[in-house]
Amino acid sequence: MKNETSFSRLLPVLSGFFIMGFVDVVGIATNYVKQDFALSDTLANLLPMMVFLWFAVFAVPTGLMMNSIGRKKTVVLSMAITFLAMLVPLVSYEFEVMLVAFALLGIGNTILQVSLNPLLSNVVRGDRLTSSLTWGQFIKAIASFLGPVMAGFAAVSLGNWKLLFPIFAAITLVSALWLFFTSIEEGKVKGKTSSFGECFGLLNDKTILMFFLGILAVVGIDVGLNITVPKFLMERCRIQLDQAGLGSSLYFIARTTGTLVGAIMLVKFSARKFFIISMVSAIAGMVLMLLLSNLWAILVFVFIIGFAVANVFSIIFSAALQRKPERANEISGLMIMGVAGGAVIPPLMGVVADAMGQTAGMAVLLVAMGYLLFTAFNLKQEIIQALK
């Protein structure tokens, strides 16, 4: 199975990456909820916190659960929870209800991200895993890009931005049924099931720990930009939310383009050099963006930053799986636990923004980018070889 990729099995798995992208709707949703309920940045940023907090809680248990029920069943379960999350905002539109909806979305997305990446390794050749994961991120980026566009269209043309939720619910249901009726041979887990202690013990490996912190940083950057770019544009360029929200869409267009380019280039070029160049470009782009006030110039650097960070998650995740392939389920759980960076960095940015403005809030991301550059320089040679 791992030496032959079946297209009929690959497609339903890749559709799961599209569902994975729905989590990024929290960025534009946070801005609309903030506006609708007149919230501060600190309070509004509880929404992304409610999404990404659950990555710290459920990621490792999901990795262990996969050993018992299998990867495909775990993915289907995640889609069922995501489907339920999309229905909640249609029942009642209150701030507390939206917190519940996005908590469910976070739980579903946690389970999905932990289980889908290893499931992909059951239908894709091992030496193509990095490129395939990048293709998955490309598909995810398409969904991420569509979220703000659909929300803006629904708000302006249909009078209710929340009408994007039933559309997402329908797509999730179709994807879940497609995967459920697809036969995928997973094989049996070798040896005894790991305990929590053994799973967390993997962090004693300094390389695994470095990758875990790298995932935390890159997701914090991703969520932070998704949420803050519209607010930054509104403050710096004096434009309305319906227009500023397109800044998030541009960011995801850049990520979509970047993952497409990365999926091709990572087959032929060194992941380490690609990683280093990406982070140098992202840091330079962020610094210049924070110094400018012209709308179009800022949008250019939003694109550059999105393009630069597009492949970082895939590079780190694949390197972690290649580090100890026999512990792939547990490592996947640990890496996805790092997605809780989306619950740590944005609230910090919100506190700084309330005190000092959106520019200072955005500057917090430079610290995370600096750590990723450190990670890029410290990829070990055996990991580099595995990524080629």
Domain at 333, CATH number: 1.20.1250.20
Give the distance, in angstroms, between the CA of residue 267 and the centroid of all CA atoms in the same chain: 22
On whether residue 278 sits in a domain, the answer given is yes
- Summarize the confidence of residues 106-122 as an average pLDDT: 87
Query: What is the C-alpha to C-alpha distance for residues 219 and 52, in angstroms, rounded to an integer?
Result: 10
Q: What is the DSSP letter of 158?
A: I
On whether residue 2 sits in a domain, the answer given is no
Q: How confident is the model at residue 343 (pLDDT cuts 50, 70, 90)?
A: confident
Centre a 10 Å sphere on the Cβ of residue 174 and count the other Cβ atoms it contains.
Answer: 13
Q: How many structural domains comprise the chain?
A: 1
Most confident of 41-55, 145-159, 217-231: 217-231
pLDDT value for 223:
83
Instruction: Note the pLDDT tens digit of each residue in 248-303.
Output: 778 888 988 888 888 778 777 778 889 999 999 999 999 999 998 899 999 999 99
pLDDT value for 71:
87
On whether residue 186 sits in a domain, the answer given is no
pLDDT > 90: percent of the chain: 27
On whether residue 187 sits in a domain, the answer given is no
Question: Is the pLDDT score of 232 beyond 90?
Answer: no
3-state secondary structure of 6: coil
Instruction: Note the pLDDT tens digit of each residue in 311-333.
Output: 898 889 888 877 877 777 778 77
Q: How confident is the model at residue 74 (pLDDT cuts 50, 70, 90)?
A: very high
- Range in 38-47, 190-199, 225-234, 291-300 with the lowest mean pLDDT: 190-199
On whether residue 334 sits in a domain, the answer given is yes
Give the distance, in angstroms, between the CA of residue 323 and the centroid of all CA atoms in the same chain: 21
Residues 6+ apart with CB under 8 A from 125: 2, 3, 4, 5
Most confident of 171-175, 254-258, 360-364, 376-380: 171-175
On whether residue 171 sits in a domain, the answer given is yes
Query: What is the C-alpha to C-alpha distance for residues 101 and 22, in angstroms, rounded to an integer?
Result: 13
On whether residue 188 sits in a domain, the answer given is no
pLDDT value for 5:
45
Name which residue leads in pLDDT, 69 or 266.
69
Range of the domain at 149: 7-181+194-387
pLDDT > 70: percent of the chain: 91
On whether residue 132 sits in a domain, the answer given is yes
Q: What's the CA angle centered on 257, arms 101 and 368, to 5 degrees?
A: 65
Name which residue leads in pLDDT, 295 or 136.
295
